C-alpha cells in the first residue's frame, strides 16, 4: 500500500501541478508544528486539498480508535465507523466536516457518533473543521479538531432522565435556596398543594403551614437541615383551598464542592388518603371488637331444646343481628334482625337496637309490645331512610311453644321432623324506625313437638345469587335444611351456611348471612 508520503512525492496520479505544490507547502508547514500538535489532548487531523492525510495526532487515534489510513474521503465513513447522532445512519461522506473544509466551508460543533471494531462501545465526538489557506488565500487543505464528549452526552442524558422523572412524578418536589426561597416546583407540587408555579416561586414553604406544628418543630427541622442532615417525617400542611393534608416529607441539603449547604430539595408524598384509610381501619377494628362482644359467644344449653346461631358479615361490619335473650317465667327470646345498608353505620344502629330490645324484654312480656317500644326509640334516632327489620320469637320452655312478632322481616319457619312446614312466621307489621306508629301484632302460640326445628334467617340467605343470576329463595334454603334435619342444631346451621356458599359458586356474599336454628328434643 502506498503511504501518504509516497503519494505526495510523485505526479503519476495526474493531479494538477498546483495541487502538488499546495501539498508540499502543507507538509512543510505541518512538519514544524507536528511535535506541538501531537501533545494536545484534542484530536487534530490535517489533510491536503485531495483529502490525503498529512497529520493525524495521537489524540485523534485514541479518540477514533483507528489511526492514519491511506483511504480516500469517500471511504472515511466506512473505515472509521462514522454515524449520525441517531447512531444508526452512516454519516454521508460529502457532509463530513473535513470534507466540507477542503471545499472551503467552515463547520462548527458537528456531532458524530463513532463505532468500529477497535471502539465497539462507541463514542460521541464534537468536530470543528476549517479550510487551511496560505497567506495569499491558496487552499492548502483542511483542518479538523475534535474532542470526545461521550461523558458529557451521557451526563446530559442522565440529567434529562432525572428532569423528566421529577417533572412527571406525582409527588410534590420543590427546591429552595439556603434561605428557604422556593426556586423550583414540579407539576406534582401544583396538583397536591393547589399553588401554581408562578404563585410558589420566590416564596417560602411557609405558604403551606397549617398551624398544627409549633415553633419548636420548625427550629429542630431547620437546625438539622443547616447542619447538613436529611429530614424525614410527616408534616401536616394546608392546601391553597384551606384543606388540611398529610405529607410524608424528605428534605435533603444540597452541598457545593466545599461541603457548604447551598440548596434544599424537598419531596412530599400526599398521605392523606392513606392516613384516612388507616384511621378508618382502626375505627373499624375497634367497632368489630365491640360488635363481636354483642353477639352471643355460644347458644344457651336448655333442657328439651338444641340451639345454634351465627352471623357472617359481608363487609368489615355486620348490619345483621341475632341473639338469645332469657326472659322471666321460663322463657327465651330468639331474635334475628337486619339493618338497611352495610358497614359501620348499620352496625352501630344494630348495637343500639340490641340495647333497647334487651332492656324492654326485661319489663314487657308481649313480643309485639317490645317491638313497638323499640320502634318509638329508633324513630327519634335514625336518619331518613334507615330502618330495622326484626323477628322476635319468644320460646316458652315449659309449654314447649313459641309466639312471635315480625316487624317487616323475612318469614321464619317451623319444620316438622319429616321436613314439612308446620308454621310460617310471616311479617306482622312494618319495619322499625320508619314511622312513629308501628303496627306490629303478636301471633298465636305455635306448639313444638320433638324433632321440630325453628329456622330464623335474614335475606342474606334467601337473596343469595348463583352465578347464573338465579336466587336461592326461601324454598332453596329450606331444601338445604331438610337434608340436614337429622343432625344437631349446629350441624344444621353450618350446613345451611355451606349450602349458601356452594349455591353462589364460592363467591363472597353481597349481604350478611345470619340464622338461628332451634330444635325441639326430648327432655330426657
Q: What does the domain layout of the chain look like in residue ranges? A: 4-154, 169-275, 294-520
Query: Would you give per-residue pLDDT tens digits along the chain (524 residues)?
Result: 333 444 444 444 444 454 455 566 666 666 667 787 888 889 999 999 999 999 999 999 999 999 999 999 999 999 999 999 999 999 999 999 999 999 999 999 999 999 999 999 999 999 999 999 988 888 999 999 999 999 988 888 877 888 888 888 889 999 999 999 999 999 999 999 999 999 999 999 999 999 999 999 998 898 889 889 999 999 999 999 999 999 999 999 999 989 899 999 999 999 988 888 887 777 677 666 766 677 888 899 988 999 999 988 776 666 788 999 988 888 899 999 888 766 667 777 788 888 888 888 877 768 888 898 888 888 887 776 788 899 999 999 999 999 999 999 999 999 999 999 999 999 988 898 888 887 888 777 899 999 999 999 999 899 999 999 899 999 999 999 999 999 999 999 999 999 999 998 887 777 888 999 999 988 66
For domain 169-275, give the CATH number: 3.30.450.20
Bridge partners of residue 307, in order along the sequence: 518
In terms of Cβ atoms closer than 10 Å to its own Cβ (0-12, 13-18, 19+), residue 334 is buried
Helix H segments across 38-149? Answer: 58-64, 76-80, 97-101
In terms of Cβ atoms closer than 10 Å to its own Cβ (0-12, 13-18, 19+), residue 406 is buried
Map grid coordinates 309449654 to a residue.
399
- For 4-154, give the CATH class: alpha beta
Decide: 95 and 103 in contact? Cβ < 8 Å.
Answer: no
Asked if the domains 169-275 and 294-520 are classified in one and the same CATH topology, the answer is no
CA distance 89 to 81: 10
CA dist 493 → 176, 305, 446, 489, 518 (Å): 66, 15, 22, 6, 10
pLDDT of residue 379: 85
CA distance 262 to 265: 10
Decide: 371 and 396 in contact? Cβ < 8 Å.
Answer: no
pLDDT of residue 307: 96
Q: 3-state DSSP call for residue 378?
A: helix
pLDDT of residue 384: 67
Q: DSSP secondary-structure letter at 388?
A: E
Tell whether domain 294-520 is in CATH 3.60.40.10.
Answer: yes
Comparing CA positions, the residue from 364, 134, 88 lying closest to residue 375 is: 364
pLDDT of residue 44: 95
pLDDT of residue 1: 33
How many residues are given for the chain?
524
Q: DSSP secondary-structure letter at 445?
A: P
CA dist 383 → 28, 308, 337 (Å): 104, 33, 18
pTM (2 d.p.):
0.53
pLDDT of residue 52: 92
CA dihedral 278, 279, 280, 285 (to 10 degrees): 90
Comparing CA positions, the residue from 289, 250, 248, 249 lying closest to residue 271 is: 248
CA angle (336 as vertex; 334, 339 as ends), nearest 5 = 150
pLDDT of residue 246: 93
Grid cell, residue 378, equals 329508633
Reduce the secondary structure of 281-346 to three states and give it as a string. Answer: HHHHHHHHHHHHHHCCCCCCCECCEEEEEEEECCCCCCCEEEEEEEECCCEEEEEEEEECCCCHHH
* Strand duo 412-415 + 305-312: pairing: unpaired
Comparing CA positions, the residue from 481, 465, 523 lying closest to residue 308 is: 481
Amino acid at each position: 500500500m502506498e503511504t501518504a508520503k509516497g503519494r505526495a512525492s510523485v505526479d503519476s496520479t495526474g493531479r494538477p501541478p498546483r495541487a502538488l505544490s499546495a501539498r508540499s507547502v502543507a507538509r512543510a508547514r505541518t512538519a514544524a508544528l507536528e511535535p506541538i500538535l501531537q501533545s494536545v489532548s484534542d484530536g487534530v487531523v490535517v489533510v491536503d486539498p485531495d483529502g490525503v492525510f498529512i497529520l493525524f495526532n495521537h489524540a485523534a487515534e485514541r479518540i477514533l480508535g483507528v489511526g492514519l489510513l491511506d483511504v480516500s474521503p469517500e471511504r472515511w465513513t466506512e473505515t472509521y465507523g462514522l454515524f449520525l447522532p441517531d447512531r444508526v445512519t452512516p454519516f454521508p461522506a460529502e457532509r463530513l466536516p473535513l470534507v466540507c473544509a477542503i471545499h472551503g466551508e467552515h463547520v462548527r460543533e458537528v456531532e458524530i457518533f463513532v463505532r468500529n471494531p477497535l471502539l465497539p462501545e462507541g463514542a460521541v465526538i464534537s468536530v470543528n473543521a476549517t479550510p487551511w489557506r496560505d497567506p495569499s488565500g491558496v487552499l492548502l487543505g483542511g483542518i479538523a479538531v475534535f474532542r470526545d464528549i461521550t461523558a458529557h452526552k451521557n451526563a446530559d442524558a442522565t440529567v434529562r432522565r432525572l428532569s423528566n422523572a421529577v417533572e412527571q412524578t406525582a409527588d410534590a418536589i420543590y427546591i429552595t435556596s439556603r434561605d428557604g426561597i422556593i426556586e423550583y416546583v414540579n407539576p406534582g407540587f401544583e396538583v397536591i398543594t393547589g399553588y401554581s408555579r408562578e404563585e410558589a416561586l420566590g416564596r417560602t414553604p411557609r405558604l403551606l403551614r397549617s398551624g398544627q406544628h409549633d415553633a419548636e418543630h420548625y427550629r429542630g427541622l431547620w437546625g438539622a437541615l443547616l447542619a447538613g442532615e436529611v429530614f424525614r417525617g410527616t408534616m401536616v400542611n394546608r392546601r391553597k383551598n384551606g384543606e388540611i393534608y398529610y405529607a410524608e416529607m424528605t428534605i435533603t441539603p444540597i452541598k457545593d464542592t466545599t461541603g457548604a449547604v447551598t440548596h434544599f430539595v424537598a419531596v412530599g408524598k400526599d398521605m392523606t388518603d392513606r392516613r384516612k384509610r388507616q384511621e378508618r381501619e382502626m375505627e373499624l377494628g375497634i367497632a368489630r371488637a365491640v360488635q363481636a362482644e354483642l353477639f352471643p359467644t355460644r347458644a344457651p344449653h336448655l333442657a328439651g331444646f338444641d340451639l345454634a346461631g351465627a352471623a357472617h358479615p359481608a363487609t368489615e361490619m355486620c348490619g345483621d343481628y341475632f341473639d338469645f335473650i332469657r326472659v322471666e317465667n321460663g322463657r327465651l327470646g330468639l331474635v334475628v334482625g337486619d339493618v338497611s345498608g352495610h358497614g359501620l353505620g348499620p352496625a352501630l344502629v344494630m348495637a343500639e337496637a340490641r340495647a333497647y330490645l334487651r332492656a324492654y324484654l326485661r319489663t314487657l312480656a308481649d313480643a309485639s309490645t317490645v317491638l313497638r317500644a323499640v320502634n318509638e326509640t329508633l324513630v327519634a334516632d335514625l336518619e331518613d331512610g334507615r330502618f330495622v327489620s326484626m323477628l322476635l320469637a319468644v320460646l316458652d320452655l315449659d309449654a314447649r311453644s313459641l309466639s312471635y312478632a315480625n316487624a317487616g322481616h323475612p318469614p321464619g319457619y317451623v319444620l316438622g321432623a319429616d321436613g314439612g312446614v308446620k308454621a310460617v312466621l310471616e311479617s306482622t307489621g312494618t319495619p322499625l324506625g320508619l314511622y312513629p306508629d308501628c303496627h306490629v301484632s303478636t301471633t298465636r302460640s305455635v306448639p313444638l313437638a320433638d324433632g321440630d326445628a325453628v329456622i330464623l334467617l335474614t335475606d342474606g340467605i334467601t337473596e343469595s345469587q348463583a352465578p347464573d343470576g338465579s336466587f336461592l329463595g326461601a324454598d332453596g334454603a329450606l331444601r338445604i335444611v331438610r337434608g340436614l334435619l337429622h343432625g344437631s342444631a349446629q350441624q344444621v346451621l353450618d350446613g345451611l351456611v355451606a349450602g349458601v356458599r356452594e349455591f353462589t359458586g364460592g363467591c363472597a356474599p353481597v349481604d350478611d348471612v345470619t340464622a338461628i336454628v332451634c330444635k325441639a328434643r326430648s327432655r330426657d
